[in-house]
């Protein structure tokens, strides 16, 4: 099943025509999640043909405006478009208070069931259990309480080898049990071992999102082995001191985390508006970790099974 990320905004604090503020859609196990919601996210959702009412869960990394200011407008539009389904928002403490005040002073009604759940964790903690996947939050080192997320498939079912179902005249129940790892017991008492019936098990895929964060080696064990790591790279190496001061990363620092964590691929995002072209950032990152690509608004990035 497809597991991919549609980037809606790949810019840092100041939006440009080419790069909007942070937001992305994570498609996992047939579920559509919104991660961060900077200004203009709702127009970006329309631009890339994403049905807003199909979003049932939203994750906000932190309450800086470039990750949060699009949320009140999106929640309001969902109401105006007649939303009936409940919506759950996971966000750092303070989001509920901010939204309630804003809705009160602007006389905004939200008729659908809106549940806002505070994220307040000191170590990697599962905060959301979806259908076939789970989401873990962990703290990042930034200038306000900020959380990274890992989106992870649960152990996938085994796949049957070609023609096994027909050869052994397996029922639907047989298929389910075999896909869950059991051997097959035939009517005459013969046992067919599971390994003969199924293909080798694939490892569950993991997508890690770290935005915004300063360079922090304690991230390495947390994101280790992720198939795709999306990490902020606000600056190039010449601005390393400024990156540290503002609790952001350079491209090379993001690549250092990716290399040490032995991830499958690194996706850079959150580029400062000072960069019209980002070749320099890509080159600096690829010198450290060659499997690096740069996010673009509207780009879709697939989380592939490990070879």
User: Among all residues, which ones are annotated catalytic?
Assistant: 66
CB 42 to Zn ion: min, Å: 18
Q: Is 68 or 151 the residue whose CB approaches Zn ion more closely?
A: 68
Among 118-126, 208-216, 257-265, 278-286, the segment contacting Zn ion (CB under 5 A): 208-216
Give min distance, CB of 99 to Zn ion, in A.
18
Closest CA to 137 of 61, 30, 28: 61
Q: What is the dihedral of CA 83, 89, 93, 97, to 10 degrees?
A: 0
Q: Does 212 bind Zn ion (CB under 5 A)?
A: yes
Residues linked to residue 160 through DSSP beta bridges, in sequence order: 198
- The answer to the question of residue 284 lying near Zn ion (CB under 5 A) is no
Q: Which is nearer to Zn ion, 66 or 174 (CB)?
A: 66
User: Cβ closer to Zn ion: 74 or 197?
Assistant: 74
Q: Which residue's CB is nearer to Zn ion, number 152 or number 212?
A: 212
For the bound state, the minimum distance from the C-beta of residue 287 to Zn ion, rounded and expressed in Å, comes to 25
Stretch that binds Zn ion, among 59-67, 103-111, 132-140, 291-299 (CB under 5 A): 59-67
* Residues near Zn ion (CB under 5 A), total: 3
Residue 36 binds Zn ion (CB under 5 A): no
Minimum distance from residue 20 beta carbon to Zn ion (Å) = 12
Among 224, 293, 212, residue whose Cα is nearest residue 259: 224
H/E segment holding residue 165: helix 164-167
- 204, burial (CB in 10 Å: exposed 0-12, middle 13-18, buried 19+): middle
DSSP letter at 54 equals G
C-alpha–C-alpha distance, residues 220 and 3, integer Å: 23
Part in contact with Zn ion (CB under 5 A); list of ranges 183-191, 194-202, 212-220, 289-297? 212-220
Alpha-carbon distances of 10 from 25, 125, 307, rounded to whole Å: 12, 26, 28
- Pairwise CA distance, residues 128 & 136, whole Å: 7
For residue 272, the minimal CB distance to Zn ion (Å) is 10
**Smaller CB separation from Zn ion, 184 or 266:** 266
Q: DSSP labels for 91-149?
A: EETTHHHHHHHHHHHTT----S-EEEEEE--SS-EEEEE-SSEEEEEEEE-SSS-EEEE
Decide if residue 248 touches Zn ion (CB under 5 A). no
> Footprint of Zn ion on residues 63-102 (CB under 5 A)?
64, 66
Which residues sit at the interface with Zn ion, rule CB under 5 A?
A: 64, 66, 212
């Amino acid at each position: 099943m497809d597991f991919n990320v549609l980037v809606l905004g790949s810019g840092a604090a100041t939006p440009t025509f080419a790069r909007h503020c942070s937001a992305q859609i994570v498609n996992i196990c047939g579920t559509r999640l919104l991660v961060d919601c900077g200004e203009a996210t709702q127009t970006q959702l329309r631009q890339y043909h994403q049905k807003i009412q199909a979003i049932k869960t939203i994750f906000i990394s932190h309450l800086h405006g470039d990750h949060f200011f699009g949320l009140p407008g999106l929640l309001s539009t969902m109401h105006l478009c007649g939303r009936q389904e409940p919506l759950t928002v996971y966000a750092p403490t303070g989001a509920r208070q901010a939204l309630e005040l804003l809705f009160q002073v602007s006389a905004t009604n939200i008729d659908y069931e809106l549940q806002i759940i505070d994220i307040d964790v000191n170590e990697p903690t599962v905060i959301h259990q979806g259908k076939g996947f789970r989401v873990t939050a962990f703290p990042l080192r930034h200038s306000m309480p900020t959380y990274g997320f890992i989106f992870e498939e649960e152990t996938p079912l085994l796949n049957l080898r070609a023609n096994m179902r027909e050869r052994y005249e397996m029922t639907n129940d047989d298929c389910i049990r075999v896909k869950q790892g059991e051997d097959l017991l035939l009517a005459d008492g013969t046992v067919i071992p599971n390994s003969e019936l199924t293909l080798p098990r694939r490892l569950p895929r993991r997508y890690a999102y770290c935005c915004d964060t300063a360079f922090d080696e304690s991230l390495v064990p947390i994101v280790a082995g992720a198939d795709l790591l999306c990490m902020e790279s606000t600056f190039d190496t010449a601005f390393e001191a400024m990156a540290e001061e503002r609790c952001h990363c350079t491209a090379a620092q993001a690549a250092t985390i990716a290399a040490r964590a032995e991830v499958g691929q690194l996706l850079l995002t959150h580029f400062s508006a000072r960069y019209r072209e980002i070749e320099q950032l890509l080159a600096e990152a690829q010198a450290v970790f060659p499997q690096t690509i740069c996010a673009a608004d509207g780009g879709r990035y697939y989380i592939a099974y490990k070879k």
